[in-house]
Structure 1
Amino acid sequence: MKLNYILLLCVLFNTSCKKEAFEKTEATYEIISINDSIVKNDSIEAFILPYRTHLNTTLDSTLAYAPETYSKKDGELNTAIGNFMADVVLSEGNPIFKARTGKNIDGVLLNHGGIRSVISKGNISARTAFEVMPFENSIVVAALNKTQMDALINYLKTEQTPHPVSNFEIQLDQSNKIKSLFINKKPLENRVYYIATSDYLASGGDRMDFFKKADTIYNTDYKIRNALIDYFNKVDTISPKIDNRFIKIN
């Protein structure tokens, strides 16, 4: 009986450890182009139509008005559309951040490349917000110390790109040295600053590595696109402007 039990264990062990033999087989594929040659399915079209109509009506309903067309190419170190987006992130994001932490956002830094469309003159809708900010990026707030803030300012000075900022006043001379620097209307101090940005940039996107060194990152779970839509719902006419928040002087 004992011998039979041992033999059974050996059989089970050998079976469980047996390697499966796999043979390489040929894989084939076919490229199917999606174009006008594909015949529409009327029943599917009829099913989708009410949803498409509702979605388009929602996206195209007028929320506000733009008196001019605003493009990210319109400025040297700051643009009207970039200033507008950064200011909206501040105005719409700060109440959420303050309610959760008891603190205020000191400033905002976004990226120039994140602006994906112009805001055209005329009626503004939710579709406008989707075109300007098609990504699912959320507003996050990074707690930056003095060293990290110095790196942020040096990044802006070196890049010479109109990245959207809010609550910053930076003046460069013709040698690209800092001539004047204020954050929330005060000189840079040796303290923690709460800088709102996108979750993409907070992870070091666009080489903004100083955000990755933040002591704390607060996620508001509030998409930048939704902040734009909420702002559009609050105003009749937007008024983006190029100003002196980031300039080079003689």
Structure 2
Amino acid sequence: MHYGALLAALMLVASCKSQLQPTVSKEQYYQIDSTLQADTGIVNYYSPYKAKLESEMNRVIGYSDVALQKDNGEESLAGNFFADALLWKGKQLDPDVQASFGTKGGIRSGLKAGNITVGNIFEMMPFENAVTVLTLGGEDMLRWAAFMAKTGGQPVSGVRLDIRDGQVENFLVQGKPVDPKATYKLVTYDYLANGGDYVTCFDNVLARKDHAQRIRETLMEYVSDLTKNGKHIQGKIDGRVRIVK
């Protein structure tokens, strides 16, 4: 574009912008509190949807014999439940999946003892993260173990990890040491596969398969499957991740 034409265009934009600046002739503030009357038209419009949503959130899908606490230790009841559910779904999607991985920060709350509702699962995983299966070489599996050791352990299933002074002391996948020349399949979710939560060990994957299945849906299916088979959630600390001294 010719410089003269460009200058004219810029002046026109600036002129239009200045003409569109809002002006306030009289300021008035409104107090928003319990004295403010609700718009009955709006309330009547959304009330049926609100009732339907509350009914679904309060629907009982299972029962937990113990409270699944969420904490930032190397292993937690909530973390074990989460990772076990993820591995359960991963094996359904791909029978070759050997391990699962989440992060402590990704689990937003634990689960209470007693009836477990759809709403409880939403509280644990409110995000729209979806299931992802990664194929990794053995060396990158060891990088993954190093990441977990450095961060004091993370929610996992299918592995055994011993940590000493922030370093990997022992790491087993399905009860066996990792072969640096072998390949492994790991189920996680898209946010972590994309490098979320400072995960840097998935930058060299051999293959990646993203699924439409949401993590939240996976948790609900897992609990419902236990219920269908006459089982309760029975969380326990089993030493899958340990900090040794």
When the two structures are superposed, what TM-score results if normalisation uses the length of structure 2?
Answer: 0.84
Map of 1:48 onto structure 2:
46
Map of 1:95 onto structure 2:
92
Based on CA coordinates, which of the two structures has the bigger radius of gyration?
Answer: 1
Map of 1:126 onto structure 2:
118
- One-letter amino acid of the structure 2 residue matched with residue 166 of structure 1: S
Deviation, 1:226, is 0.3
- One-letter amino acid of the structure 2 residue matched with residue 248 of structure 1: I
What is the aligned-residue RMSD (CA, Å)?
2.6
Deviation, 1:15, is 9.4
Q: Quick one: which of 233, 237, 248 aligns to 2:224?
A: 233
Q: Quick one: which of 133, 138, 141 aligns to 2:133?
A: 141
1:1-250 alignment, distance < 5 Å: 19=9, 21=12, 22-23=14-15, 24-25=17-18, 26-27=21-22, 35-73=33-71, 76-96=73-93, 98=94, 103-161=95-153, 163-173=154-164, 175-189=165-179, 190-236=181-227, 237-250=232-245
Deviation, 1:159, is 1.3
Identity of aligned residues (%): 26
Matched residue SS, 2:67: coil
Whole-angstrom distance in 2 between the partners of 1:28 and 1:105: 62
Whole-angstrom distance in 2 between the partners of 1:157 and 1:227: 27
C-alpha distance 209-179 of structure 1, shift in aligned 2 (>3 A): closer
- One-letter amino acid of the structure 2 residue matched with residue 68 of structure 1: V
- One-letter amino acid of the structure 2 residue matched with residue 69 of structure 1: A
C-alpha distance 148-15 of structure 1, shift in aligned 2 (>3 A): closer
Deviation, 1:86, is 0.5
Would the aligned equivalents of 1:81 and 1:241 in 2 still touch at CA under 8 Å?
no
Whole-angstrom distance in 2 between the partners of 1:114 and 1:226: 15
Whole-angstrom distance in 1 between the partners of 2:160 and 2:173: 6
Would the aligned equivalents of 1:84 and 1:240 in 2 still touch at CA under 8 Å?
yes
Deviation, 1:17, is 10
Deviation per CA, 1:171-192, whole angstroms, max 9, x where unpaired? Answer: 234x455443210122111211
Matched residue SS, 1:212: coil
Whole-angstrom distance in 1 between the partners of 2:144 and 2:5: 62
Would the aligned equivalents of 2:100 and 2:186 in 1 still touch at CA under 8 Å?
yes
Matched residue SS, 1:235: helix
Matched residue SS, 2:233: coil
Greater Cα shift, 62-71 or 129-138: 62-71
Residue-pair matches, total: 229
C-alpha distance 43-217 of structure 1, shift in aligned 2 (>3 A): same
Deviation, 1:247, is 0.8
Deviation per CA, 1:125-170, whole angstroms, max 9, x where unpaired? Answer: 1101100000000110111112211211111111114x11010111
Deviation per CA, 1:96-153, whole angstroms, max 9, x where unpaired? Answer: 2x2xxxx511111111001111201221011011000000001101111122112111
Whole-angstrom distance in 1 between the partners of 2:50 and 2:120: 17
Matched residue SS, 1:71: coil
